[in-house]
Amino acid sequence: MPRLSVLLAVLLGAGCSLSAAQLQSTVAAQVQLTVAAQEPLAVTVIVMMPVTLTLPPVASRTPRPTATPLPATPQVSVEMPPDPKTGVDTGHTLFAENFNLLGTWAVFDTERARGTWRQATYVLTLRDTDEIRWVFNGPRASDFYFEGSVAVGACKAGDQYGLVVRADTDASFYAFGVACGGRFRLLRSLNGVYEEVLPWQASPLLARLAGSTQRLGVRAVGSRFGLYINSQLLGQVEDAELTGGRFGIYAGSYLTPELQVTFDDLVAYPILSAAAAAAVAAAPTALPTVAPPATLEPTATVAVAPTRSALPTSTAVPVVPTMAATAAVPTPTVVPQLAMEGASAEPIFTEDFQIPNYWDQFTDATTRGQIEDGLYRLTLSNLDSAAWALNGIRRQDFYFSGTASIAQCGTNEGAGLVFRAVNDLTYYAFIVSCTGNYKLVEHRNGAVSELLPWTVSGAISRYPAMRNRIGVRAVGALASLYVNDVLLATVPGLELRRGRFGVFVKSNASASVTAEFDDLSAFEIQR
For the chain, domain boundaries: 95-270, 299-524
What are the DSSP E strand ranges found in 29-159? 95-97, 108-109, 113-117, 122-126, 131-141, 144-152
Q: What is the pLDDT of residue 335?
A: 47
Q: What is the DSSP letter of 62?
A: S
**CA–CA distance, 311 with 522 (Å, rounded to integer):** 12
Asked if 517 and 353 touch (Cβ cutoff 8 Å), the reply is yes
Mean pLDDT of the chain: 76
Q: What is the DSSP letter of 291?
A: P
Task: Provide the β-strand partners of residue 388.
Answer: 504
Q: What is the pLDDT of residue 172?
A: 95
Query: What band does 284 get if pLDDT is binned at 50, 70 and 90?
Result: very low
Report, in angstroms and rounded to the nearest whole number, the Rg of the chain calculated over CA atoms: 38
Q: What is the pLDDT of residue 275?
A: 54
Least confident of 203-217, 235-249, 263-277, 315-329: 315-329
Report in angstroms the alpha-carbon separations of 149 from 99, 175, 300. Answer: 12, 15, 56
End-to-end CA distance of the chain: 113
Assigned CATH for 95-270: 2.60.120.560
Q: What is the pLDDT of residue 235?
A: 95
- Phi/psi of residue 517, nearest 5 degrees: -125, 145
Percent of the chain with pLDDT over 70: 71
**CA–CA distance, 477 with 322 (Å, rounded to integer):** 29
Highest average pLDDT, of 129-138, 173-182, 391-400, comes from 173-182
Task: Provide the β-strand partners of residue 81.
Answer: none
Mean per-residue pLDDT, 291-307:
30
Least confident of 159-173, 345-359, 375-389, 431-445: 345-359
**CA–CA distance, 56 with 63 (Å, rounded to integer):** 15
Q: What is the pLDDT of residue 315?
A: 30
Q: What is the pLDDT of residue 415?
A: 95
Calculate ∠ Cα 445-448-451, nearest 5°: 120
Asked if 93 and 488 touch (Cβ cutoff 8 Å), the reply is yes
Task: Provide the β-strand partners of residue 501.
Answer: 391
pLDDT in tens, 450-471: 999 998 888 888 877 689 999 9
**CA–CA distance, 311 with 205 (Å, rounded to integer):** 62
Query: What band does 36 get if pLDDT is binned at 50, 70 and 90?
Result: low
Global pTM value: 0.47
> Does the pLDDT at position 169 exceed 60?
yes
Report in angstroms the alpha-carbon separations of 160 from 170, 179, 213, 241, 296. Answer: 19, 4, 14, 23, 64
In one-letter notation, the amino acid at residue 195 is E
**CA–CA distance, 520 with 509 (Å, rounded to integer):** 28
> Does the pLDDT at position 134 exceed 80?
yes
Asked if 253 and 128 touch (Cβ cutoff 8 Å), the reply is yes
**CA–CA distance, 208 with 212 (Å, rounded to integer):** 7
**CA–CA distance, 309 with 370 (Å, rounded to integer):** 17
**CA–CA distance, 112 with 125 (Å, rounded to integer):** 9
Mean per-residue pLDDT, 190-204:
94
**CA–CA distance, 338 with 321 (Å, rounded to integer):** 17
Give yes or no on whether 95-270 and 299-524 have one common fold.
yes
Q: Hey, what CATH topology would domain 299-524 get?
A: Jelly Rolls (2.60.120)
What are the helix and strand counts (H, E) for the chain? 4, 30
Highest average pLDDT, of 9-23, 25-39, 473-487, comes from 473-487
Mean per-residue pLDDT, 92-110:
80
**CA–CA distance, 420 with 500 (Å, rounded to integer):** 5
> Does the pLDDT at position 264 exceed 50?
yes
Least confident of 27-36, 163-172, 178-187: 27-36
3-class secondary structure, 460: coil
Query: What band does 161 get if pLDDT is binned at 50, 70 and 90?
Result: very high
Mean per-residue pLDDT, 229-248:
94
Q: What does the DSSP assignment read for 369-414?
A: EEEETTEEEEEE-STT-EEEEEEEEEESSEEEEEEEEESS--TT-E
Mean per-residue pLDDT, 126-145:
89
Q: What is the pLDDT of residue 199?
A: 95
pLDDT in tens, 38-93: 444 443 333 333 333 333 332 333 333 333 333 333 333 448 999 999 989 887 88
- Phi/psi of residue 8, nearest 5 degrees: -65, -40
Give the 3-state DSSP-derived string for 329-384, with helices as H, strands as E and coil as C.
CCCCCCCCHHHHCCECCCCCEEECCCCCCCCCCEECCCEEEEEECCEEEEEECCCC
In one-letter notation, the amino acid at residue 320 is V
Highest average pLDDT, of 36-40, 75-79, 122-126, 157-161, comes from 122-126
> Does the pLDDT at position 102 exceed 70?
no
